[in-house]
Amino acid sequence: MSLFPITSATPTNGTGAIRGPGRRNFGLGTPAVALADAIGRLQPDMDVHFVSAGAWSLHDLIRYTIVQTGAPAAVVAFTWSITSSAVDAILDMKAGGQIGEFDLVMDAAQKKLSRDAFETIRPHCRRVRLAQIHAKGFALAAGDWRVVCVTSQNMTTNPRCEAGVVSTSPAVYQFHRAWLDPLLEGGDPLNVEAVAQTVEAEGGD
């Protein structure tokens, strides 16, 4: 399976990657370390790699990001599963004007397990897509800021070792919007549905 060029703004079928900026930070989060201590102040064109032992959830990181970027923020969230605590946090941010537009991509198989939370958040989303997805994170735009988080954390509260990266590179933001937007519009930009018909899934998730 070939990689598409890192200079390409539009993903092609298959897998791909993009190089982030040269300046990189690393944060270690534990329950005793606050998000601000681990992530620090966001700066333009930087990557922050982090690990957290349940010190925060994905929706906490969305709120923390918006505090720095300003509001209202347009957020595209993608997750394997979602729980009521995350939905409550998102709705609170929407009610408070921190989040304007909110789009959500969630794994189709998780609709049964996350039904109550999903049905609660659905009317508050600009676009919703149930798809075959295991990726988690968000793409956020506010003012001149463009922020992306890709992480192992779902839209849940789960005290486990989690790791991820936050990028403030506009190129990284455009890269992820290039596959998220077609997916939200009902497309299959990475050809996942076709691959799923020929590759047998293994594991529990």
Q: Which residue has the higher pLDDT, 77 or 111?
A: 77
Q: Is the dihedral of CA 179, 181, 128, 172 positive or negative?
A: positive
Banded model confidence at residue 3, pLDDT cuts 50, 70, 90: very low
pTM: 0.84
Which CATH number does the domain 45-188 belong to among 3.40.50.1950, 3.40.309.10, 3.40.50.720, 3.30.870.10? 3.30.870.10
Domain ranges of the chain: 45-188
- Is the pLDDT at 165 greater than 50? The verdict is yes
Q: What rounded mean pLDDT belongs to the chain?
A: 84
Banded model confidence at residue 199, pLDDT cuts 50, 70, 90: low
- Is the pLDDT at 201 greater than 80? The verdict is no
